[in-house]
């Protein structure tokens, strides 16, 4: 039933939905066009001003696209639950208030669809972002990564993510991945759970 890129994203969303509760604080580490940010907002918004989505991207156009999508899709009260930052996700600790209990941190790697394909996530900053994410994630939280391997550097980035995930101690972490066996260039979903 999984036939393409969007389906892996849907699978990721259904994993998030099974974990995230109304009122949670979550992070979208690659806002892009805002689809994941919006999906996360719907999961955390509880109508009483609680819940928060911290979103970040290194491109002004991505922050603008995300703001626009939110404006078209939700009311002002809900939009206020989203805090957007023009910052590299390796610096996520500078954007998120210290000691915030973060339930979920999501990455959708690669380039901005419809944007400049040369502005892309890289192994070096992705690894730094994973290290930061593992520090700020609350226990019983999840880091979710959709990784694309069809572009130059994508396969190396997957290797970096996998080697980070497999290096985590089993006492505190459970990591797994989903890939489509007969579609070797399809996106891979890597899930990193903190016990
Ligand atoms: N989640 C998005 C959505 O729902 O539309 C799609 C994300 S897109 C595949 C990847 C995004 O990562 C791009 O917008 C790109 O600008 C951003 N990006 C690349 N390097 C980054 C970095 N170091 N820190 C934060 N964002 C980065």
The set of residues, in sequence order, having a beta carbon less than 8 Å from that of 102 and lying 6+ positions away, is 25, 26, 27, 96, 136, 137, 138, 141
Q: Which atom of ligand 1 is nearest to the CA of 88?
A: 24
Quick one: which H or E segment has residue 25?
Answer: strand 25-28
Condensed to tens digits (0 to 9), the pLDDT of residues 149-187 reads: 999 999 999 999 999 999 999 999 999 999 988 888 999
ipTM, two decimals? 0.99
DSSP letter string over 101-141?
Answer: -EEEEEEE-SB-TTS-TTSB--HHHHHHHHHHHHHHEEEEE
Q: 62 CA to middle of ligand 1, Å?
A: 8
Mutating to test ligand 1, I would choose from 13, 16, 32, 65 the residue with most ligand atoms within 8 A of its C-beta, which is: 32
Report pLDDT for 26: 98
Quick one: which H or E segment has residue 193?
Answer: strand 188-194
Condensed to tens digits (0 to 9), the pLDDT of residues 68-122 reads: 999 999 999 999 999 999 999 999 999 999 999 999 999 999 999 888 999 999 9
In 3D space, the residue among 122, 133, 148, 102 whose CA is nearest the CA of residue 9 turns out to be 148
Condensed to tens digits (0 to 9), the pLDDT of residues 14-70 reads: 999 999 999 999 999 999 999 999 999 999 998 777 899 999 999 999 999 999 999
C-beta 119 within 6 A of ligand 1:
yes
First to last CA, the chain: 30
Report pLDDT for 123: 97
């Amino acid at each position: 039933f999984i036939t393409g890129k969007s389906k892996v994203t849907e699978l990721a969303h259904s994993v998030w939905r099974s974990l995230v509760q109304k009122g949670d604080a979550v992070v979208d580490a690659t806002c892009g066009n805002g689809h994941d940010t919006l999906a996360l907002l719907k999961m955390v918004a509880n109508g009483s001003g609680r819940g928060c989505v911290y979103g970040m991207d290194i491109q002004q156009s991505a922050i603008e696209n995300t703001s626009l999508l939110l404006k078209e899709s939700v009311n002002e009260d809900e939009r206020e639950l989203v805090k957007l930052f023009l910052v590299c996700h390796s610096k996520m600790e500078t954007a998120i208030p210290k000691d915030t209990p973060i339930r979920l941190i999501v990455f959708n790697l690669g380039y901005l669809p419809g944007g400049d394909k040369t502005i892309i996530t890289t192994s070096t900053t992705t690894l730094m972002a994973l290290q930061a994410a593992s520090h700020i994630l609350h226990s019983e939280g999840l880091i979710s990564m959709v990784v694309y391997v069809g572009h130059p550097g994508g396969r190396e980035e997957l290797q970096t993510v996998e080697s980070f995930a497999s290096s985590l101690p089993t006492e505190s972490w459970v990591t797994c991945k989903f890939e489509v066996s007969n579609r070797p260039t399809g996106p891979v979903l890597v899930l990193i759970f903190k016990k």
